[in-house]
Amino acid sequence: MAEELIASNGGTIPSHPYRSWVEVSLTRIAENFRSIRALVGDGVEVMPVVKADAYRHGAVQVSNTLQAEGAQWLAVSNTDEGIVLRDAGIQTRILVMADFLPFSREELIANRLTPVIHSLEDLEALNRLAAKHQQRIVYHLKIDSGMGRLGVRPDQRIAEAILAAQHVTLEGLMTHFASAGNYQSPQTDQQVATFQQVLDLCGRAGVYPAIVHLSSTIPIAYSRKDAWREMVRPGHAIYGYVSPARGHAPPRQLDVRPALTWRATVLSVKDVPAGTQVGYGGMFETQVPSRLAILAAGYADGIPHRLSNKGQAIVAGRLAPMVGAVSMDLCTIDVTDCAPVRPGDAVTLLGAQGDVSIDAQEIARLAGTISYSVLCGIHERVKRIYVK
């Protein structure tokens, strides 16, 4: 398809009347979801993670697509994100993974969201809330098996506390890995073992959560099957990404492809002589007579400032270097070696065109960050378009 665009449009992409936009393929999202399901098999539920506006792919559209594909569960970070989905008519179960703040509890319950509880104190609070509402509330409990972030640390009193909370029902027991992609570290094996001890303790007390879940993208993609259990929680993979593993990782089993392409419109093109300084701080100086294209996107749109003098854009199937500092609303690329570009033409900041591609991992590497942060950093003012 990319070739067609080049051929039909003198080397540029069909323009939209936007300074910068993303094209999200819902077909790709659906395919990625199906690939994950096929890998984990029928016995394992797949709960796509659509927090942070579906990693900026658009939570409502992505959730509608996943619901239509048969997803029974979706996961969000907080109550507000869950409410957005309920207001849009999403009927799946929705797990709220990082909230249960006192000021969001009532709304959480009113919107039929399922809370993750992170401490025994919060479990008591949930129990009181259920008693007050005379309503049985179903919850998941998170165990801190070694990440040292959210969750109850292993504790003899966990089973007792679950049994004592008589107005609520434990449905899920979960944990999250700190170093899933690092096969040089024993941390994941240790976390699995620690979590299993908590499960065993619960079992001895007669507490058997119906849904045990531990795995985000990496333990799915590299087939750490002892961490799949009843449900898995892929985020990154839904959007087509799997971070490379470190150390002696087993071969990656999952095939997914990026669903998002990010474009920016050329605002101005100019020819400058050798020795021209470009942008704030004169960070770049042309060595030869050069043609510059100034793009209508900057760090306020989500282009990492650290791509200054390091980033790239695809212009008519060819990589053009970013020159000078990325500024708030603009950045500059050197198009001297590219096919002619005019103001109003679009270039690709993230995506594939012809034989070249730039994905979020590549951008992250150049900017010294992670691909998750690149995707989530795409600002709301960047328009979103849904394509096949």
Ligand X SMILES: *Cc1c(COP(=O)(O)O)cnc(C)c1O
Please count the CA atoms within 13 angstroms of the CA of 279 that sit on its side-chain side: 25
Beta carbons of 21 and 383 less than 8 angstroms apart: yes
Q: Is residue 318 a contact point for ligand X (CB under 6 A)?
A: no
Q: Is residue 44 a contact point for ligand X (CB under 6 A)?
A: no
Q: Is residue 216 a contact point for ligand X (CB under 6 A)?
A: yes
Q: Please, which residue, 215 or 261, has the CB nearer to ligand X?
A: 215
Contact region with ligand X (CB under 6 A), list: 78-86, 234-242, 291-299, 348-356: 234-242
Binding-site residue total for ligand X (CB under 6 A)? 11
Rounded to a whole number of angstroms, the minimum distance from the CB of residue 147 to ligand X is: 9
- Two tokens, residue 124: 């008591």
Rounded to a whole number of angstroms, the minimum distance from the CB of residue 105 to ligand X is: 19
Q: What is the 3 state secondary structure string of 246-309?
A: ECCCCCCCCCCCCCEEEEEEEEEEEEECCCCEECHHHCEECCCCEEEEEECCCHHHCCCHHHCC
Contact region with ligand X (CB under 6 A), list: 20-28, 131-139, 233-241, 376-384: 233-241
306 burial class (0-12, 13-18, 19+ CB within 10 angstroms)?
middle
Q: What share of the chain is helix, strand, coil (3-state, %, to 5)?
A: 35, 25, 40
E-strand stretches of 167-230:
168-174, 211-215
Instruction: Report d(CA 137, CA 132) in Å as an integer.
Output: 11
Q: Is residue 236 a contact point for ligand X (CB under 6 A)?
A: yes
Q: Is residue 176 a contact point for ligand X (CB under 6 A)?
A: yes
Contact region with ligand X (CB under 6 A), list: 152-160, 228-236, 254-262, 317-325: 228-236
Contact region with ligand X (CB under 6 A), list: 153-161, 193-201, 232-240, 258-266: 232-240
67 strand-pairing partners: none
Q: Please, which residue, 222 or 299, has the CB nearer to ligand X?
A: 222
Q: Please, which residue, 199 or 338, has the CB nearer to ligand X?
A: 199
- Strand 211-215, strand 231-232: pairing: parallel
Instruction: Report d(CA 322, CA 312) in Å as an integer.
Output: 5
Q: Please, which residue, 105 or 233, has the CB nearer to ligand X?
A: 233
- Two tokens, residue 362: 């590549």
Interface residue with ligand X among 32, 63, 217, 312 (CB under 6 A) is 217
32 burial class (0-12, 13-18, 19+ CB within 10 angstroms)?
buried
**55-84 positions binding ligand X, by CB under 6 A:** none
Rounded to a whole number of angstroms, the minimum distance from the CB of residue 94 to ligand X is: 14
Q: Please, which residue, 182 or 336, has the CB nearer to ligand X?
A: 182
Q: Please, which residue, 99 or 301, has the CB nearer to ligand X?
A: 99
Rounded to a whole number of angstroms, the minimum distance from the CB of residue 257 to ligand X is: 15
Residue 51 is a catalytic residue = yes
Residue 142 is a catalytic residue = no
Q: Please, which residue, 105 or 142, has the CB nearer to ligand X?
A: 142
Please identify the residue of the shown chain whose CB is closest to the bound ligand X.
Answer: 235
- Two tokens, residue 191: 């976390």
Q: Is residue 95 a contact point for ligand X (CB under 6 A)?
A: no
Q: Please, which residue, 176 or 291, has the CB nearer to ligand X?
A: 176
Rounded to a whole number of angstroms, the minimum distance from the CB of residue 97 to ligand X is: 5
87 strand-pairing partners: none
Q: Give me Rg for the CA atoms of the chain.
A: 24
Instruction: Report d(CA 180, CA 328) in Å as an integer.
Output: 35
Q: Is residue 152 a contact point for ligand X (CB under 6 A)?
A: no
Instruction: Report d(CA 133, CA 77) in Å as an integer.
Output: 24
Rounded to a whole number of angstroms, the minimum distance from the CB of residue 225 to ligand X is: 16
* Residue 221 falls in which region: left (phi positive, over 0), alpha (psi -120 to 50) or beta: alpha
> Helix crossing, 59-68 with 26-40: angle to 10°?
50
Closest CA to 241 of 3, 28, 2, 383: 28
Rounded to a whole number of angstroms, the minimum distance from the CB of residue 142 to ligand X is: 8
Q: Is residue 47 a contact point for ligand X (CB under 6 A)?
A: no
Q: Is residue 234 a contact point for ligand X (CB under 6 A)?
A: yes
Catalytic residue from among 132, 208, 270, 280: 280
Give the active site residues. Answer: 51, 280
> What does the binding site for ligand X look like in residue numbers (CB under 6 A)?
49, 51, 97, 176, 216-217, 233-237
